[in-house]
Amino acid sequence: MAETSSPLIVIVGPTAVGKTALAIEVARVLKGEIISADSRLFYRGMDIGTAKPSLAERQGIPHHLIDVVNPDETFSLAVFQREVTRLCDEIRMRGKLPFLVGGTGQYVMAVIEGWQSPEVKPAPELRAVLQTWAEEIGGDALHARLARLDPPAAETIDPRNLRRTIRALEVIFTTGRRFSEQRLKAAPEHEILLIGLTCPRPVLYARIDGRIEQMLSAGLVEEVKGLLARGYSGELPSMSAIGYQEIARFLQGQISLEEAILIMKRRTRQFVRRQAAWFKPADPRIHWFTLGDRTTADVIELIRKELADG
């Protein structure tokens, strides 16, 4: 039984490295429950393109923050932080060990570093102007403007996340200060054990290519077609996720399926590089493990040692 003071086990690493499988195996042995820190898994109906763990894979291991909103709804960082705190308390009260698992660096770091967003009230008129500006010059160009004004903020915001780009600019123009300078950090609400999973880059790229091929075989095109048929616009932030945007463009006749696959692979490699900026090999907080036959046993041994020492 886990004590109510047991640490939050955080498992991070690049996409497709095997975090989900590792977390499920470890949680099964150590009687844990898994909280997803992959922002793509929040959305209902987006299963194949997000590599969402199947119900069979989740069998016997409670998973949280999966399928919590529709593709046209938002699940903000602040709500995510509150939900993680609530879930950790509930999991510990059940005598279980909480695991936070995922590759969305911003969401993970917000929890382990106790981020507090700038207390700047929304400015609807300014936001509308920025939205119009984005429509005129494009989301990438607007993100480039942010990069000139506040490089650290731009580094942490995906160029395709127009909502967050606009919010950062809104705060900058409202306060006259960089958005990145206004993010406060507090002591995290949890004791943290941070575990990283990695593998050689060529191996990872091969795993990525294999995953994309498997998604297509599993029906990714049909999944995206269904989402579009239900009225979810390809312009939604959720639909800008890797795979969904490219397949939507294919279905709309803008690119071929072959081009879509190539772009998916290229964007995923770019995403891996952005993840590396969040989860650095030299970060002393992270206990790194290389994917291999003994990885699961070694991770379990580390966690048991930390629990015993704690």
**199-205 average pLDDT score:** 96
CATH architecture of 118-182: Orthogonal Bundle (1.10)
In the CATH hierarchy, which top-level class contains the domain 8-115+186-309?
Answer: alpha beta
CA contacts within 13 A on the Cβ side of 121: 3
Reported pTM: 0.85
Q: For 186-269, where are the E strands, in sequence order?
A: 192-198
The structural domains of the chain, with segments of one domain joined by +, span 8-115+186-309, 118-182
Q: Three-state DSSP class for 258?
A: helix
**62-66 average pLDDT score:** 97
Segment 225-248, tens digit of pLDDT: 999 999 999 989 899 899 999 999
- Dihedral, 27, 32, 33, 35 alpha carbons, nearest 10: -70
CB atoms within 10 A of CB 78: 12
